[in-house]
Amino acid sequence: MHSSASLQLRSAFVVWLSCIAFQPSTFAASVQDILARYHGKIVVLNFWASWCEPCKAEIPIFIELQNHYQSQEVQVLGISVDVPADRRLAERFAKRAGVNYPIVYDGRMEEMRPLGLADSIPATAIFDKDGRRRYRMIGAVTKEALASRIDWLLGVRAQEEPAELTLPEGLTPEHFREHEESREHEEHEDQPRGEAQKGEEGSTVPS
């Protein structure tokens, strides 16, 4: 049973959660494993899917950024959260779009939550050269917003540091945080009693 406040919050999220789904596929490597491969570089990590129109609309931005910044130790990475059955659709789209950066397929939205990206796409995180998450961008991005954050990490700091968290218009950080807490509470309630007890004894799942 959900409270009225929870239902209202969920309804508000419909405005910006333009593409939401849960993926049952197995992710071959953790996000941290992927980031470790690019240690020493600024990493722009974008979660997307072939069925998400806002995701596809921003792919040309990432292509342009990869072209512009690749000589400055900046690496764009994509993680497709298409289910395995739709992998070919994602691969075909990436090929047609001329994607010039690595894409990991069969990703899961659950991999987004430890990064503070909620569970909806598009969503992007930017990491510094030491692998620390510095910026989160929930929803569609602009080239200017991405470039200002990359430039800051590169030492180009003509203006104040950009905000760590960027949200769609109308969504407040408080609502975003409440959604995250509500999702964690729901997952805990849905967990079978035996599994919950097992988790209390010792689980590697982030809490």
pTM score: 0.74
- The 3-state DSSP class for residue 134 equals strand
Looking at residue 199, its pLDDT comes to 37
Looking at residue 198, its pLDDT comes to 35
Looking at residue 194, its pLDDT comes to 40
Looking at residue 158, its pLDDT comes to 80
Name all contacts of 203-206 with Cβ < 8 Å and 24+ positions apart. 206/113, 206/114
Q: Buried b / exposed e across 68-92, counting CB within 10 Å, b at 16+?
A: ebeeeebbbbbbbbbbeebeeebbe
pLDDT in tens, the chain (207 residues): 444 444 444 444 443 444 543 333 334 467 888 889 999 999 999 999 999 999 999 999 999 999 999 999 999 999 999 999 999 999 999 999 999 999 999 899 888 988 999 888 999 999 999 999 999 999 999 999 999 999 999 999 888 999 999 998 887 878 787 777 666 656 556 555 444 333 333 322 222
Q: Is 179 exposed, middle or buried (0-12, 13-18, 19+ CB in 10 A)?
A: buried
Separation CA 193–CA 21 (nearest Å): 25
Helix residue ranges, H only, the chain = 4-13, 31-36, 53-69, 87-97, 143-153, 173-190, 193-202
- The 3-state DSSP class for residue 163 equals coil
Looking at residue 104, its pLDDT comes to 93
Separation CA 32–CA 29 (nearest Å): 8
CA atoms within 13 A on the CB side of 15: 13
Place of tokens 């994509």: 78
Looking at residue 71, its pLDDT comes to 96
Task: Specify the fold of 17-166.
Answer: Glutaredoxin (3.40.30)
Strands 42-48 and 74-80: parallel
Q: Please state the domain extents for the chain.
A: 1-16+170-199, 17-166
Nearest 5°: phi and psi at 168?
-60, 155
Comparing CA positions, the residue from 126, 80, 82 lying closest to residue 103 is: 80
